[in-house]
Amino acid sequence: MTRAGEADAQAILAGRHPDPFGFLGLHEVDGALTVTVFRPGAERIEVLDAATGRRIVALAPVADAPGLFSGRAARRRKRFSYRLRLWQDGQSREEEDPYAFGPVLGEMDEYLIGEGTHYRLWQALGAHRMVHEGVDGTHFAVWAPNAARVSVVGDFNGWDGRIHPMRRRGATGVWEIFLPGIGEGAVYKYELLDRDWQLLPLKADPVGFGAEPPPRTASVVRDLRNPDWHDGAWMAGRAERNRIDRPISVYEVHLGSWRRVPDDGNRPLTYLEHARELVGYASEMGFTHIELLPVSEYPFDGSWGYQPIGLYAPTIRYGTPGEFRALVDACHRAGLGLILDWVPGHFPEDAHGLVRFDGTPLYEHADPREGWHPDWRTCVYNYGRTEVANFLISNAIYWLREHHVDGLRVDAVASMLYRDYSRKDGEWVPNIHGGRENLEAIAFLQHMNRAVYGDVEGVMTIAEESTAFPGVCTPTDRGGLGFGFKWNMGWMNDTLSYMKHDPIHRKYHHGQITFGLAYAFSENFVLPLSHDEVVHGKGSLLDRMPGQGAEKFANLRAYYGFMWGHPGKKLLFMGGEFAQGREWNHETSLDWHLLDIDLHRGVQALVRDLNRIYRETPALHRRDCRADGFEWVEADAAEESIFAWLRRGEEGDAPVLVVSNFTPLERSGRRIGVPEPGRWVEVLNTDAAEYAGGGRGNLGGVESEPVPASGRAHSLCLTLPPLSTLMFRLDRE
């Protein structure tokens, strides 16, 4: 071997060769075709003709380079296809040589990755089962522009990063290799050397489709080809179902604690079990959508998924990607949409994750004033970096396309929009104009929404945004962020604060109910009673109601009636639908045994009926996001803590009158004005006996009288039960 060859050999042995594909495999050396293979532990290696299986040459060990073998293919003048026969520990095996294969990625992949518009990034990067050049195996590709060397490691090579170093793909910073014979379920990581050739912690695949069960942290090869979908009818019609003038009532669920199996170690249900039990329950309860707390792979159960590591991998806690798809498919076949919580705002510092991925702050900002989140002690993505924005936007499209998800609720948008979010003076960096807005994050969110709505028909994006940032739901071509919907955090905070007050004091807080209507149509709002309202010492929703015993339940029922009658889409966290009494605990099941008690079963029956009435009554949803769909009838009855308003649909839809009485006093003979004479049918009464209420009401409906009230010529003479909400629909028939 020449002096140059000896230097190559030592570099391979040390795992520091700058171009392993230029040395290993089949090459012309000194005018002869030569095969060079590195297999530590091999006793001897032969090169076989791939077509005939005949031996071409026995490779000789290279002196002073244990594990390295090389040999000339005599009488071979043209490149040829070959296999290897290896002997190790007295056993022989045949395999393909990874260094005999050409690249998989093409120039267009490189161009789009560099441009930041590779909206199918997961089809280029990650681990893909495929047949390449006639051979079955897995293609691995990862972005690590500042690494000196990247290798795939796993059980298949003894976790030795010297054996399968990858091919660098030019200026894109992408590395790739095709490993023959690697199949579904193979466990792997990437071993990287930084620009100074220093070894980094082993990294999970940022675009990996599977992962080991925690606390193990490796990625797992998963085959996404040939999905078994049966939801064609849903997919064809979902654009109609997700419109802002359609009923949208969301059941928010944490898969790990919705229901557990006591007889099997108290484990959570699997995706397949949820496909039967959760889907059946949510459908029977009348919800239109299920929203899942994040299912992207995450290391720490206590984060509930909000500190993800594997953005492209459905968590293995409940099953494989194929089984997750079966859950989505079951939702669609039952007429339910599926929304995922999506977390592009931050990521944890776990060594196997994205932090300093190639030895540099690649995904995160280098400056902790920009790249570190003090609230969650996590890293912040560098949204201004083209490749990072592309990684995240492609991930959004991945869930919607590959897994047929119907929407993404984007977590912690407020923390993304402001550079000084939860930071003190001196702990944040102003933008180029000296302001606090994060211009890069704003541009990223706009880009994400344009890409999502432009790429996938019929889906929705929802912002969890708690500030008064303007134009969250305004189209991006008009300067907005481009979201479909926004959580109304102000409504949630104000109304829950109002409900916590003893009814005798509510008259002093009347504005907490009415204030929300001053801005209710500035965005396309979702009214969220989410998981955040039943944790961290806040107690359950039932717990936050004043009074004792049945009075607590009456308050909660009245509040739910008020919520479903209020403009805005609905969201309720699991357990709230049957008035779970304790604060949510992610480590245990919901308290389903409470349904043996009439009061809890009554709340469940109420929520079921609220969903049905909401779906069936156009006036309650068609103009949810329009000011002309709402009209106050009585907004100033503070002394009585009474609120009355009208909901209207399109022309020809019967109007609905909603009345809430938030005192424990029955109001008999209370006149409420109506816009049209006729019979007004009592379609809902939260005090009804079937909801474990007192059974007081208006005998199914009331005929209007030409008696002026509430500024209108006609009125209803009503009985308003204590702590109740009633809905009346004009019967035009």
Segment 344-390, tens digit of pLDDT = 999 999 999 999 999 999 999 999 999 999 989 999 999 999 999 99
Residue 132 has pLDDT above 70, yes or no: yes
Question: Do strands 485-487 and 460-463 pair parallel, antiparallel, or not at all (unpaired)?
Answer: parallel
Angle 619-622-627 (CA atoms, 0-180°, nearest 5)? Answer: 85
Contact yes or no for 186/210 (Cβ under 8 A): no
Percent of the chain with pLDDT over 90: 95
If one counts every other C-beta atom within 10 angstroms of the C-beta of residue 226, the result is 6
Which residues touch 688 (CB under 8 Å, ≥6 apart)?
695, 697
Q: Which of 220, 252, 277 is the last residue in one of the domains?
A: 220
Could you tell me if residue 55 is inside a domain? yes
Q: Which pLDDT band holds residue 76 (cuts at 50, 70, 90)? A: low
Q: Which pLDDT band holds residue 74 (cuts at 50, 70, 90)? A: confident
Which residues touch 217 (CB under 8 Å, ≥6 apart)?
189, 204, 211, 299, 309, 350, 352
Which residues touch 669 (CB under 8 Å, ≥6 apart)?
717, 718, 719
Q: Could you tell me if 675 and 649 lie in one domain?
A: yes
Contact yes or no for 364/355 (Cβ under 8 A): yes
Q: What is the rounded average pLDDT of the residues 699-720?
A: 96
Residue 336 has pLDDT above 60, yes or no: yes
pLDDT at residue 129, as a whole number: 98
Q: What is the rounded average pLDDT of the residues 175-195?
A: 97
Q: Could you tell me if 361 and 469 lie in one domain?
A: yes
What is the C-alpha to C-alpha distance for residues 452 and 472, in angstroms, rounded to an integer? 15
Q: Could you tell me if 315 and 418 lie in one domain?
A: yes
Contact yes or no for 84/93 (Cβ under 8 A): no
Average pLDDT score, the chain: 96
pLDDT at residue 97, as a whole number: 97
Residue listed under structure tokens 């994750």: 353
Q: Could you tell me if 286 and 341 lie in one domain?
A: yes
If one counts every other C-beta atom within 10 angstroms of the C-beta of residue 310, the result is 26
Torsion sign across C-alpha atoms 683, 686, 691, 693: negative
Q: Could you tell me if 27 and 138 lie in one domain?
A: no
Q: Which of 191, 220, 249 is the last residue in one of the domains?
A: 220
Q: What is the rounded average pLDDT of the residues 91-115?
A: 94
Tell me how many domains the chain contains. Answer: 4
If one counts every other C-beta atom within 10 angstroms of the C-beta of residue 34, the result is 20
Q: Could you tell me if 124 and 209 lie in one domain?
A: yes
Q: Which of 100, 118, 140 is the last residue in one of the domains?
A: 100
Could you tell me if residue 293 is inside a domain? yes
Could you tell me if residue 180 is inside a domain? yes
What count of Cα atoms within 13 Å lies in the side-chain half-sphere of residue 458? 15
Could you tell me if residue 393 is inside a domain? yes
This model's pTM is above 0.75: yes
pLDDT at residue 2, as a whole number: 53
Could you tell me if residue 494 is inside a domain? no
pLDDT at residue 689, as a whole number: 97
Q: Could you tell me if 24 and 63 lie in one domain?
A: yes
Q: What is the rounded average pLDDT of the residues 462-486?
A: 96
Residue 29 has pLDDT above 90, yes or no: no
Q: CB-based burial of residue 405 (10 Å sphere; 0-12 exposed, 13-18 middle, 19+ buried)? A: buried
**Of residues 170 and 692, which shows the higher confidence score?**
692
What is the C-alpha to C-alpha distance for residues 351 and 239, in angstroms, rounded to an integer? 41
Q: Which pLDDT band holds residue 4 (cuts at 50, 70, 90)? A: low
pLDDT at residue 1, as a whole number: 53
Q: Could you tell me if 112 and 96 lie in one domain?
A: no
Radius of gyration of the chain (CA): 31
Which residues touch 471 (CB under 8 Å, ≥6 apart)?
478, 479, 480, 481
Task: Tell me the residue ranges of DSSP E strands in 432-552.
Answer: 460-463, 485-487, 525-529
Residue 654 has pLDDT above 80, yes or no: yes
What is the C-alpha to C-alpha distance for residues 679 and 676, in angstroms, rounded to an integer? 9
What is the C-alpha to C-alpha distance for residues 265 and 683, in angstroms, rounded to an integer? 45
Which of 383-397, 415-429, 439-453, 714-728 is predicted least confidently? 415-429
What is the C-alpha to C-alpha distance for residues 340 and 524, in angstroms, rounded to an integer? 18
Tokens representing residue 415 in the block? 């923390």
**Does the N-terminal peptide bond of residue 546 adopt cis geometry, omega within 30 degrees of 0?**
no
**Cα 559 versus chain centre, distance:** 29
Which residues touch 236 (CB under 8 Å, ≥6 apart)?
none
Provide the residue type at 581 as one letter: G
What is the C-alpha to C-alpha distance for residues 239 and 378, in angstroms, rounded to an integer? 36
Catalytic residue among 110, 273, 297, 464, which?
464
Q: Could you tell me if 177 and 259 lie in one domain?
A: no
pLDDT at residue 193, as a whole number: 98
pLDDT at residue 31, as a whole number: 83
Q: What is the pLDDT of residues 655-671, one digit of tens each?
A: 999 999 999 999 999 99
Contact yes or no for 727/717 (Cβ under 8 A): no
If one counts every other C-beta atom within 10 angstroms of the C-beta of residue 503, the result is 19
**Of residues 80 and 391, which shows the higher confidence score?**
391
Which domain CATH number covers 85?
A: 2.60.40.10
Could you tell me if residue 312 is inside a domain? yes
What is the C-alpha to C-alpha distance for residues 674 and 631, in angstroms, rounded to an integer? 11
Q: What is the pLDDT of residues 506-524, one digit of tens each?
A: 999 999 999 999 999 999 9
Q: Could you tell me if 285 and 382 lie in one domain?
A: yes
> What length is written for the chain?
733
Q: Could you tell me if 305 and 201 lie in one domain?
A: no
Tokens representing residue 400 in the block? 């919607």
Could you tell me if residue 587 is inside a domain? no
Provide the residue type at 81 as one letter: S
Instruction: Give which of 20, 17, 100 is closest to 56, Cα–Cα.
Output: 100
Which range of residues forms the domain containing residue 47? 3-100
Q: What is the rounded average pLDDT of the residues 432-456?
A: 96
Catalytic residue among 109, 411, 634, 682, which?
411
Catalytic residue check, 464: yes
Q: Could you tell me if 339 and 442 lie in one domain?
A: yes
Q: What is the rounded average pLDDT of the residues 192-211?
A: 98
What is the C-alpha to C-alpha distance for residues 107 and 663, in angstroms, rounded to an integer? 70
Give the residues across from 208 on adjacent strands: none
Residue 243 has pLDDT above 60, yes or no: yes
Instruction: Give which of 340, 572, 364 is closest to 462, Cα–Cα.
Output: 340
Which domain CATH number covers 336?
A: 3.20.20.80
Q: Is 243 helix (H, G, I), strand (E, B) or coil?
A: coil
pLDDT at residue 588, as a whole number: 96
Could you tell me if residue 595 is inside a domain? no
Q: What is the rounded average pLDDT of the residues 549-566?
A: 98
